[in-house]
């Protein structure tokens, strides 16, 4: 065997040493890196299902549905604790613990339908069937929402799954899981449904004072039907009062007497218009004075409640209360028979000269604003200044009107009579400098708050009799109708001090500095 040359042998021995390490390198682990762990895959699919379902509900899961007189939008939203949230913009929201599930029912009250709302105002007897109507509307809306939500979650999860995985089978799996999740949530909501949650709502925003505004929900539902029936009977009783009071011996008004009906604090009670109309007819009223709080929240949706004012047949003098908004005031200013008093402006109506000022506060949430007393007194001082200007111009005011008693008291010494309301009970007070303050109770029986307390709030109004020549108050009839469950009607006649038998006529209040009068600054 031939010998291998030494140089070639050396080369052969070195070559394996250089290429051997390449044969012993570990293979690349590309195959293991390409396969994600199973729990990561499941987590990703879960994220796709949840996000896709949420996007579907957000984009196409809303349903518009009428509920009673309201137009609403219903939607399902992801939630940890479930429940129902009813948004009433701009007043706030109320939350109900209606169910326990990972979805919450949101109901947004968009607006009041004018035609359906007006039907309730014109026919208050329909309120007795409103609860059943609302229940039917909610049931139909919920069924529509369930169908729309199923389509929404399947569509959203499938579309997102297709965008992420690019595989139709994986996308359909995401859609099916989203539908199963919604079905499980619905089953949980059905199993934990609490119908009594409506009796214990939680309020937020301006509605946080709703319990003090409308009272306990249970009492309203159970007692309002009785309340309506009693008011209907009282309207009938009122028409019989005139024959009794016209024969009272102390004072018999002659046909030339100016008769003013003073009402206040109606607070959206539709039955009040029937009572007012009856009093106008039976007492042959010449003018109505409303010292405010005709509304409850002052919203534009409530304006239709004021339309019966047009049909009362007599002028209607009105000042703004703390539950009446500027929107309410503008609506009344457009009525031909309404005379809105504000900023001390004076108007002559039915032979009497009236001046008044609107309440400087607007508190439909019944809040107590710091400094409110000072603002009321400042408004009263502005009214008193306007009364002095009228006196100096030779056109003295006969009757001043304000809503709040503290504002009315500032007119002491500038006018013989000032009318007010606000406190929901009637009363008369002679102020130090000779002005008579006449405060009216609630002609609406405090509205729905009439059923809140142990004893129902009465319905109160007054007929004021003025001498046509002197334009001074001669007497007044205080009318008091029993509230819920009380079928009583009471009329008490009161004489002005100077009209008492044997009394001397007292001088009328005059502007400070007038000859023959005492100078006083209220």
For the stretch 345-355, pLDDT in tens is 999 999 999 99
231 confidence band (pLDDT: 50, 70, 90): very low
Question: pLDDT tens across 419-467, in order?
Answer: 999 998 899 999 999 999 999 999 987 665 555 555 667 889 999 999 9
Task: Write down the mean pLDDT value for the chain.
Answer: 78
| Residue 314 pLDDT exceeds 50 | yes
**203, 92 Cβ separation under 8 angstroms:** yes
Query: How far is it, in rounded angstroms, from Cα 252 to Cα 246?
Result: 7
403 confidence band (pLDDT: 50, 70, 90): very high
- DSSP string of 360-371, one letter each residue: S---TT----TT
* pLDDT attached to residue 385: 96
| Residue 203 pLDDT exceeds 80 | no
Which residues are within 8 A (CB) of 300 and not within 5 positions of it... i.e. 6 or more apart?
A: 327, 331
- Helix/strand/coil (H, E, C) string of 429-481? EECCCCCEEEECCCCCCCHHHHHCCCCCCCEEEEEEEECCCCCCEEEEEEEEE
413 confidence band (pLDDT: 50, 70, 90): very high
| Residue 107 pLDDT exceeds 60 | yes
Question: pLDDT tens across 251-290, in order?
Answer: 677 778 999 999 999 988 888 898 899 889 888 999 999 9
More confidently predicted of 4 and 274: 274
Query: How far is it, in rounded angstroms, from Cα 287 to Cα 331?
Result: 20
* pLDDT attached to residue 122: 63
Q: Tokens at residue 86, please?
A: 């009813």
Tell me which residue of 229, 228, 224, 238 sits closest to 488, measured CA to CA. Answer: 238
Question: pLDDT tens across 39-58, in order?
Answer: 887 888 888 888 988 888 88
188 confidence band (pLDDT: 50, 70, 90): confident
Query: How far is it, in rounded angstroms, from Cα 418 to Cα 402?
Result: 8
Which residues are within 8 A (CB) of 158 and not within 5 positions of it... i.e. 6 or more apart?
A: 52, 171, 172, 174, 175, 178
DSSP-based three-state secondary structure for 433: coil
195: DSSP letter: G
My answer on whether omega of the bond before 401 falls inside 30° of 0, hence cis, is no
**465, 253 Cβ separation under 8 angstroms:** yes
pTM listed for this prediction: 0.55
Cα distance from N-terminal residue to C-terminal residue, the chain: 143
């Amino acid at each position: 065997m031939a010998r291998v040359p030494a140089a070639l042998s050396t080369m052969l021995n070195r070559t394996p040493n250089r290429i051997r390490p390449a044969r012993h390198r570990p293979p690349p682990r590309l195959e293991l890196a390409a396969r994600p762990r199973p729990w990561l895959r499941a987590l990703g699919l879960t994220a796709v299902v949840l996000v896709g379902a949420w996007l579907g509900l957000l984009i196409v899961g809303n349903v518009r549905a009428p509920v009673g007189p309201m137009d609403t939008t219903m939607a399902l939203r992801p939630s940890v604790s479930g429940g129902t949230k009813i948004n009433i913009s701009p007043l706030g929201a109320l939350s109900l613990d209606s169910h326990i599930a990972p979805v919450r029912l949101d109901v947004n009250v968009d607006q009041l339908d004018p035609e359906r709302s007006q039907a309730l105002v014109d026919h208050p007897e329909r309120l007795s069937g409103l609860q059943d109507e609302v229940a039917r509307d909610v049931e139909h809306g919920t069924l529509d929402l369930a169908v729309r939500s199923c389509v929404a979650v399947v569509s959203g999860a499938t579309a997102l799954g297709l965008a992420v995985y690019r595989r139709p089978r994986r996308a359909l799996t995401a859609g099916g899981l989203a539908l199963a999740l919604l079905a499980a949530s619905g089953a949980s909501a059905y199993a934990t449904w609490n119908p009594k949650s409506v009796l214990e709502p939680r309020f937020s925003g301006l509605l946080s004072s709703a319990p003090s505004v409308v009272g306990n929900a249970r009492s309203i539902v159970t007692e309002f039907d009785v309340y309506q029936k009693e008011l209907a009977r009282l309207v009938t009783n009122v028409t019989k009062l005139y024959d009794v009071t016209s024969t009272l011996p102390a004072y018999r008004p002659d046909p030339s007497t100016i008769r003013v009906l003073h009402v206040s604090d109606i607070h959206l009670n539709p039955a009040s218009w029937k009572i007012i109309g009856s009093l106008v007819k039976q007492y042959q009223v010449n003018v109505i004075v409303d010292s405010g709080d005709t509304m409850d929240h002052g919203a534009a949706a409530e304006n239709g409640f004021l339309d019966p004012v047009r049909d009362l047949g007599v002028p209607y003098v009105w000042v703004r209360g703390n539950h009446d908004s500027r929107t309410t005031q503008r609506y009344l200013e457009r009525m031909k028979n309404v005379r809105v008093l504000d900023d001390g402006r004076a108007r002559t109506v039915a032979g009497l000269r009236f001046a008044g000022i609107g309440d400087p506060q607007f508190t439909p949430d019944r809040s107590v604003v710091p400094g409110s007393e000072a603002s009321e007194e400042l408004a009263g001082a502005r009214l008193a200044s306007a009364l002095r200007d009228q006196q100096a111009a030779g056109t003295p005011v006969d009757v001043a009107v304000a809503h709040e008693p503290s504002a009315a008291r500032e007119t002491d010494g500038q006018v013989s009579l000032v009318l007010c309301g606000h406190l929901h009970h009637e009363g008369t007070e002679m102020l130090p400098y000779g002005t008579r303050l006449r405060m009216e109770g609630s002609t609406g029986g405090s509205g729905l708050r009439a059923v809140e307390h142990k004893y129902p709030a009465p319905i109160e109004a007054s007929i004021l009799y003025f001498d046509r020549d002197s334009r001074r108050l001669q007497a007044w009839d205080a009318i008091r109708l029993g509230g819920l469950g009380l079928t009583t009607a009471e009329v008490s006649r009161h004489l002005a001090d100077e009209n008492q038998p044997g009394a001397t006529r007292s001088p009328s209040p005059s502007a400070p500095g007038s000859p023959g009068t005492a100078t006083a600054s209220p």
